[in-house]
Structure 1
Amino acid sequence: MSAPPLSLLSLVRPLVRAVTYTRWLHLMVGAIVPLAVGLVYPGLTDPGLAEWLIVAALPVPPVAAIALLPSARRAEGLQARLMLLPGKHARVRRATDAATGISATPSASWTDRGRTALWLVFRMEAGLAVLLASIWLPQCTLVLAGAVVEEPLLAALTPSPDLGLPALAPLPLLALLALVVGAGRLDTRTARRLLGPSVKERMTALEERTERLLERNRIARELHDSLGHALTLAVVQAGAARAAKDPEFTDRALATIEETGRAALEDLERVLLLLRETGRPRGASPGLDEAVRLLDSARSSGARVDAEITGSVEELPGPVSREAYRMLQEALTNALRHAGQVPVEVRVTAERSRLRLLVTNPLPEGRPQAVPGSGSGLRGIRERAALLGGEAKAGVKDGEWRVAVTLPLR
């Protein structure tokens, strides 16, 4: 048995979706206000075309005035999400404006109020039109089928019983179904256009998304630098202890591995607290004033570290001190990982307006020169420096591998 044509499926599919009928109900609800006004004036006992035009026009000013209330936009946005959009994402509290295309926040400007007023008027007029069509088209079906409709609500528009053609009786019902589907889609499209996020709301959402991405990148760098440094030291210490075959040196190596591992666990716990967002106090990241710990751990791994720190690093701004600590950590880790137990020179200069960090080590014999700019560690150093308005360079110069960082203090 062959499948139905694609065109037939596309015509039938909307009729079996619940959202088609919730959109229909959404439009019909919009007709409540003009019908209530029409009951007062001019009355709905035997209305003609002129009376229906009055019924449609009279409620426009008060309905538009309702949009002056900031909460009107929120109420209409929530209704539109619930009744016009398919899927669970439109019904949960955490549904976002970007996911639905419809804002559920109060009006924050006169532009928002104006768009809300246009939406309320559109919903009312479109709902009235759909309601009248929903009454009139079934009447047409009854008349074409040969039934006699006494005192029809829309007598002026109902076909004469003399034109009764039973074969054409289903056509008005099919027209009604097509109207329901088309009007529902138009209602949804108009809601997204008039109740969609404003430019300010989109900019705020974009800034929040950018902040989240930057925070994720920062956490990734924290994990890479902290855990990478700890694992590198552990590997180097273990290898050196096995090669030395000296119990005293092995004890020192194990003590260094233990201390480094404990510090890495503290960093890992702090980063996990950031991810969990539990509201618990978060431990402060280490700063450049704790650089002695880095230098000692590098020396304990067998590297000969010549360090010179000039200036008051204790008085550096917090962000500069923390990021400089991570950059020094990554530079030492790279030296130990790629060069081994070679002399490493560290120069830290805290000047009046900038901080300079220079880490150099000779290239090991028999190893290929590293490609400047390769590796996520060097990329992380550059990203940290760029975020602070500084500059970081890494590469081979005069037979040495150099990592030079300059950070502004203001």
Structure 2
Amino acid sequence: MRAVLRPLTRAVTYTRWLHLMTGAVVAAVCGMIYPGFVDSRPVEQLWLLVLPVPPLIAVAMVPGTRLAEGVQARLLLVSGEHARHRHGDPDSAIAAAPSASWGDRGRTALWLVLRLEAGCVVAPLSFVLLPGLTFALIDAATGGTPEPVLELRIPGHHWWYGLLAPLPLIVLMALVVGAGTLMATVAARLLGPSAAERLAALEERTERLLEHNRLARELHDSIGHALTVAVVQAGAARAAGSAEFTDRALGAIEETGRRALEDLERVLRLLREETGRRPADRPGLADAERLLESARAAGCALEAEVTGPLGALPGPVSREGYRILQEALTNVLRHAGPVPVTVRVAVAADTGTLELDVRNPLGGPATSPAAGRTGGGLRGIRERAALLGGEAQAGPYGGRWRVSVRLPGHGGATVAAGPAGALN
């Protein structure tokens, strides 16, 4: 009994009823013109199932009609926060977008015709036939003279007609619940997203996940670099025992921390805004000097060679190159400490190919990034290079630890726009 009565306690049952009733509005307008409601017979009013169909098909050809019907179906056919029960309702299956193809227009036209026919059936049953039968049965049971309902008469006068009086209302509620559920299911089929819309939504979700993954990696690089510099500087200042060196170390820690906070604020802003498309304020290789100065301030004897037109690099290559260089220097400080480092950044003037080369001495098992337990930094470097169509190598080379990265220049932006859409 509870399962039978449960639909009657749901707000969506009555919003669906309203949706069914509004489907008869077009038929009612047509009925005022022909065949009319005063002198016409019920048989003549069957034309109302046919006459509005051509205008509805014409209206369905307007792209915005699908948007309007989708919004209306979501509001009235689908249970939301205003309803008690939400399980099984096809909320996300109903699209709310203009028609983008003739297939969308055809399904919208079929939906409008279905709404018309359902409304023309449910409205008379709701307003005239079933409630009228209930009152007629009550009149016949009490000895009154029941009025005919759509040319139907209740014969005779019997007391047991009173027992049958609730039956039409029960049939009406069963009809409303069943027809409403059916319309919600059909709406998911006819107003649901097309294959192209589903693909676009999947691509958007994939790009958003890629962007979040990139932001997480970028935040890891920035914060990891800042903490590594701070730890190295603090240890060197304590070992040096010099007030002047300590003052310089504190200044380097302050500057590195400020930049890390700026990166953190930018990443959090992107995550809050959910834009995923704000690369302009991300640092590029043109800002590489601040990475080199940070490594020098941490005590590294750093020699840098920068050649070629850095400003001519495509945005994705320049920005990812900056992060690769940052991760390479962070690995040196984390695993080798303040050791001599050689950095070469070269851009080929003819092809725009970017080459990054970072080397530091191999003095023991803990003086190379390979000694790290996770290898996340080197893996991130390889992933960034691969997404841009380049390559990265890391390992011992000529008695030193070497990180070598080669990224295509002018062609790299095209590569990045494909599987690495988040890098644009």
The TM-score, its normalising length taken from structure 1, stands at 0.83
Give the Cα separation in 2 of the matches to 1:292 and 1:325. 10
Q: Taking structure 1 as reference, are residues 252 and 176 closer, same or farther at Cα in structure 2, changes over 3 Å only?
A: same
Higher alpha-carbon deviation: 388-397 or 184-193: 388-397
For the residue of structure 1 that corresponds to 2:187, the secondary structure is: helix
Give the Cα separation in 1 of the matches to 2:315 and 2:333. 27
* Deviations 1:246-278, CA, capped at 9 Å, x for gaps: 223222222322332233334334434544559
Give the Cα separation in 2 of the matches to 1:373 and 1:366. 12
Q: Taking structure 1 as reference, are residues 81 and 151 closer, same or farther at Cα in structure 2, changes over 3 Å only?
A: same
Higher alpha-carbon deviation: 376-385 or 179-188: 376-385
Give the counterpart of 1:18 among 5, 8, 11.
11
One-letter identity of the residue aligned with 1:133: L
State the match for 2:256 in structure 1: 260
Give the Cα separation in 2 of the matches to 1:366 and 1:67. 73
Counterparts of 1:4-403 in structure 2 under 5 Å? 8-45=1-38, 50-88=43-81, 100-134=92-126, 135-145=128-138, 146-147=140-141, 148-152=145-149, 154-156=150-152, 160-161=155-156, 165-275=161-271, 277=273, 284-351=281-348, 352-353=350-351, 354-363=353-362, 365=364, 367=366, 370=370, 374-395=374-395, 401-403=401-403
For the residue of structure 1 that corresponds to 2:364, the secondary structure is: coil
Higher alpha-carbon deviation: 14-23 or 258-267: 258-267
Which runs of no fewer than 5 residues in structure 2 stay unpaired?
Answer: 84-89, 412-424
One-letter identity of the residue aligned with 1:123: R
Higher alpha-carbon deviation: 116-125 or 334-343: 334-343
Give the Cα separation in 2 of the matches to 1:381 and 1:58. 68
Q: Taking structure 1 as reference, are residues 160 and 54 closer, same or farther at Cα in structure 2, changes over 3 Å only?
A: farther
Q: Per-residue deviation at 1:12?
A: 1.4
> Is contact 1:27-1:123 (8 Å) kept?
yes
Q: Taking structure 1 as reference, are residues 19 and 257 closer, same or farther at Cα in structure 2, changes over 3 Å only?
A: same
The TM-score, its normalising length taken from structure 2, stands at 0.81
Q: Per-residue deviation at 1:55?
A: 2.2
Identical columns (%): 60
* Deviations 1:306-360, CA, capped at 9 Å, x for gaps: 4343434343223212211110101110121122233433333323432222323
Give the Cα separation in 2 of the matches to 1:375 and 1:18. 56
For the residue of structure 2 that corresponds to 1:302, the secondary structure is: coil
Q: Per-residue deviation at 1:116?
A: 1.5
Give the Cα separation in 1 of the matches to 2:20 and 2:72. 11
One-letter identity of the residue aligned with 2:378: L
Q: Taking structure 1 as reference, are residues 15 and 397 closer, same or farther at Cα in structure 2, changes over 3 Å only?
A: farther
Give the Cα separation in 1 of the matches to 2:370 and 2:156. 93
One-letter identity of the residue aligned with 1:72: T
Q: Per-residue deviation at 1:226?
A: 1.7
Give the Cα separation in 2 of the matches to 1:229 and 1:89. 50
> Is contact 2:389-2:407 (8 Å) kept?
yes
RMSD: 3.2
> Is contact 1:363-1:369 (8 Å) kept?
no
Higher alpha-carbon deviation: 226-235 or 143-152: 143-152
State the match for 2:416 in structure 1: none
* Deviations 1:183-234, CA, capped at 9 Å, x for gaps: 1111111222222223333333333333333332332233222222112101
